[in-house]
Amino acid sequence: MTKKSHGRRKPPASPRSSSVVASDVRGEAAGPAPSVAHSESVRWRSIFSFLPSLLAFVISANTLWNGFAADDSHQVLQNTLIKKLSNIPLAFTKSVWAFVTEDIVFSVDQYYRPLFSLLFTINYALFGTRAWGWHLVNILIHAVVAWLVFISVKELTDRNWLALMTASLFAVHPAHVESVAWVSGITDPMMTVFMLASFYFYIRYHRERRGRFLWMMLGAYFLALLCKETAIALPLIVGACEMFYFREATPLKKRIVRATTLSSLFLLPTLVDILMRYGALGRLVGGARIIPFLVGLATIPIATVKYLALMLLPVGYSYQHQTNFVLSIRSAQFFGPIVVLATAAACIWLSKSRLLGMAALWFLAPLAPALYAIRSFEPENVVQERYLYVPSIGFCLAIALAVEWLVRRKPLGSFTRPLALSITLVLLALWGVVSIRQNLVWDNDLSLYRNVVMNDPGRATAHVALALSYQSAGRMREADNEIHTAIDLDPSDSRPYVTLAYFANALGKYNDAVGYLERAAALAGDRPYAKNDLATVYLNIGLISWQTKDYQRAEENLQRSIEVWPRAVGWYHAGRFYFDRGRLDEARAMFELAAQHVPETYPPIHLQLGRVYDLIGQKGQAKSEYEKFLNLAPPESANRSEVMARLQNL
């Protein structure tokens, strides 16, 4: 029996237009199926396409009263590079954290996101430090994404109501709060604007075979890369779409050629982004791999299941989600998630739905970079809600398909549409209420980390994070209480003692600080990430001992830090120590090692090398390093006058 085709777009003039919409489930017609809120007596209205944007705005509006939280204190309040419009060119030649010019830890960051820095520069020019303006921009970008979800799904399926359901569910899902309510979380929504635009232009190109859509597709993809590197997932989605979704009666060989050719076009903008990234960072990838490869690999299934749970169950949203690393593939923590994922994959396969397969791909492909990066994370950061912003498009499409499937079930008779409508409205209301409530969590650091503790009160590191927030707010009594709560919860955890050492050092109690650090070293244990913690502990003992003129203990611990974890920050500080002690050959060796592992654009390493070469008589090399420092250091650098004076004497 033929279905009526309410709201179907007129076919374009192109003779290829008939190939755009593939059959979906078990050979069902490509036209729009009956769906929630759709009846034969109700015509589609174009204004409906803006409902998801309206929902996104309304659900996020209470963030306008929030302040700054987490990285905002650095990226907004302390970021010198965004405070002048004349610095806009620097957004394309420096990393996101380039404003922290003197801190070697941030010099090795891998974040090249020039459009993020550009947006922040414009925001600062418009709003200064008035937080409401920054939040308004985030809300508007999220609203644009919700609209793009609608038009992309509509263009892909030619089904208005399915697109409306998908985009509306996307607009209100509470997993998006971190990306929208957190000012510095805007990278994912920004990237999604251009990623969805690129996907939309791809579908238009497939429909009409007009070259302008191809160029627009590649241009939007390039802009997405400049927002965040995870846009690299898009060529995979496009290739899979050509291979499996738009297959019609096309022979397999032709589909392979078509998918390969189209996907290869993305190589040019990707290569340009790589070259720009290399020029700004001095490397293509960064970030320490603190977890063994096999441990990281074995942890991917449980992390994926946790991401699915965050999409399915609107509870437990937090800035931190503790996920213990899976140490063996023979453990239940590995096999349990594998069974869950295999079952989900089997259900998708048995459904024979190309569209459900595309939904799964939209969930997994953008999530893959975050899963790959697991080895760089500590347990509380293995799962992070902002990484679900793009994958949730696929999840919301799958939910909309499930509702649409329910409408088709004839045994329910006249109850199907009211039931489907009720399910959709309940989901929208439930997710919306949770989102509005979760928005308040991102008001400031204290509210953020109180929520972390509320969601995981038995985890010691949650209390440590809250203690640091109290300390930053000058509330030392509460900070001390949280630290001792952490110690009571897990006496074997070294990190509360590291935090106590930080507090003691800030108060000038150096002997107490060293004592706490030595206790932390004794508790480091054999966790997968213990190497990172232990190296940091030894480094800090060395620096404090140097400050208190206990030079023997300082050298011993600086060397221990390097032995445990050879890295730029260890070599750099050891070089500073040797330089201070007049041991110039050892200082030079340390600085030269550090220079091999930090970007060429990091000014302090050139200053230190220049000083060493100057004192040992290598005048030519000293002059070269001094000149590099002057070219790279900010105008307000306190060392510029010293370097200029030394250059005049060389």
Tell me the per-residue pLDDT of 173-216, one tens digit each, with 9 for 90 and over.
Answer: 999 999 999 999 999 999 999 999 999 999 999 888 888 999 99
Contact 441, 448 (CB under 8 A): yes
Q: What distance in Å separates the CA atoms of residue 35 and residue 24, rounded to the nearest whole number? A: 15
Contact 166, 149 (CB under 8 A): yes
Q: What distance in Å separates the CA atoms of residue 135 and residue 322, rounded to the nearest whole number? A: 28
- CATH number of the domain at 645, please: 1.25.40.10
DSSP-assigned states of every residue in 145-158: HHHHHHHHHHHHH-
Structure token pair of residue 588: 């030079």
Domain boundary, last residue among 441, 465, 480: 441
- Tell me the β-bridge partners of 25: 353
Stretch 260-275: mean pLDDT, rounded?
91
Judge whether residue 27 has pLDDT over 70: no
The CA-atom distances, in angstroms, between 495 and each of 47, 155, 447, 506, 536 are: 54, 51, 22, 17, 11
User: Model's pTM, two decimal places?
Assistant: 0.85
Torsion angle of C-alpha atoms 358, 209, 211, 241, degrees rounded to 10? 10
Stretch 462-470: mean pLDDT, rounded?
92
| 77, part of any domain | yes
Judge whether residue 102 has pLDDT over 80: no
Whose tokens are 């955890």? That residue is: 493
Q: What distance in Å separates the CA atoms of residue 208 and residue 203, rounded to the nearest whole number? A: 9
| 59, part of any domain | yes
Judge whether residue 36 has pLDDT over 60: no
Structure token pair of residue 315: 């509870």
Contact 306, 341 (CB under 8 A): no
Non-local CB neighbours of 636 within 8 Å, separated by 6+ positions:
none
| 32, part of any domain | no
DSSP-assigned states of every residue in 512-524: HHHHHHHHHHHH-
Identity of the amino acid at 546? W
Q: What distance in Å separates the CA atoms of residue 287 and residue 63, rounded to the nearest whole number? A: 32
Contact 135, 210 (CB under 8 A): no
- Tell me the β-bridge partners of 353: 25
Could you tell me the end-to-end alpha-carbon distance of the chain, in angstroms, rounded to an integer? 91
Domain boundary, last residue among 441, 469, 501: 441
Contact 386, 188 (CB under 8 A): yes
Question: Is residue 337 exposed (0-12), middle (13-18) or buried (19+ Cβ within 10 Å)?
Answer: buried
| C-alpha angle 193-199-201 in degrees, rounded to nearest 5 | 100
Instruction: Please give the mean pLDDT across all residues of the chain.
Output: 85
The CA-atom distances, in angstroms, between 329 and each of 125, 333, 513 are: 52, 8, 40
| C-alpha angle 348-337-352 in degrees, rounded to nearest 5 | 5
Stretch 245-268: mean pLDDT, rounded?
84
Domain that holds residue 240: 45-287+352-363+389-441
**pLDDT digit string (tens) for 319-377?**
999 898 898 888 898 999 999 999 999 999 998 888 999 999 999 999 999 998 888 88
Judge whether residue 78 has pLDDT over 70: yes
User: Within this chain, do residues 88 and 231 fall inside the same structural domain, yes or no?
Assistant: yes
Whose tokens are 């004794």? That residue is: 522
Identity of the amino acid at 305? V
Which is nearest to 22 in space by CA: 207, 190, 201?
207
Stretch 452-461: mean pLDDT, rounded?
92
Question: Is residue 102 exposed (0-12), middle (13-18) or buried (19+ Cβ within 10 Å)?
Answer: middle
**pLDDT digit string (tens) for 510-547?**
899 989 998 988 887 666 667 778 888 999 999 999 99
**pLDDT digit string (tens) for 473-506?**
889 999 999 999 999 998 888 889 999 999 898 8
Contact 34, 401 (CB under 8 A): no
Domain boundary, last residue among 381, 406, 441: 441
| 536, part of any domain | no
Whose tokens are 């293509």? That residue is: 284
DSSP-assigned states of every residue in 411-423: GGGGGHHHHHHHH
Contact 145, 59 (CB under 8 A): no
| 321, part of any domain | no
Q: What is the pLDDT of residue 41?
A: 36
Judge whether residue 52 has pLDDT over 70: yes
Residue 353, classed as helix, strand or coil, is strand
Judge whether residue 1 has pLDDT over 50: no
Judge whether residue 26 has pLDDT over 50: no
Q: What is the pLDDT of residue 173?
A: 96
Structure token pair of residue 524: 């480091």
Checking 572-576 for CB contacts under 8 A at 24+ apart, the result is: 572/104, 572/598, 572/604, 572/605, 572/608, 573/104, 573/539, 573/542, 573/543, 574/542, 575/608, 575/612, 576/608
Residue 568, classed as helix, strand or coil, is helix
| 317 φ/ψ sector (left φ>0, alpha ψ -120 to 50, else beta) | beta
Contact 309, 365 (CB under 8 A): no
Mean pLDDT comparison of 35-44, 66-75, 202-211, 392-401, highest-scoring range: 392-401
Judge whether residue 639 has pLDDT over 70: yes
Contact 246, 382 (CB under 8 A): no
Angle between helices 568-580 and 551-564 (to 10 degrees): 160
Q: What distance in Å separates the CA atoms of residue 563 and residue 554, rounded to the nearest whole number? A: 14
- Say how far residue 79 (Cα) sits from the centre of its chain: 20
Judge whether residue 33 has pLDDT over 50: no
Q: What distance in Å separates the CA atoms of residue 67 and residue 181, rounded to the nearest whole number? A: 10
Judge whether residue 17 has pLDDT over 50: no
| Number of domains the chain is built from | 2
On the CB side of 245, CA atoms within 13 Å amount to 22
Give percent of the chain with pLDDT exceeding 70: 87
The CA-atom distances, in angstroms, between 591 and each of 125, 265, 518, 537, 602 are: 39, 42, 27, 21, 12
User: Within this chain, do residues 435 and 578 fall inside the same structural domain, yes or no?
Assistant: no
Question: Is residue 508 exposed (0-12), middle (13-18) or buried (19+ Cβ within 10 Å)?
Answer: exposed
> What single-letter DSSP state applies at residue 25?
B
Q: Residue 222 is inside which H or E element, if any?
A: helix 211-227
| 233, part of any domain | yes
Non-local CB neighbours of 448 within 8 Å, separated by 6+ positions:
69, 70, 319, 441, 442, 469
Judge whether residue 71 has pLDDT over 60: yes
Q: What is the pLDDT of residue 525?
A: 67
Residue 326, classed as helix, strand or coil, is coil
Contact 608, 574 (CB under 8 A): no
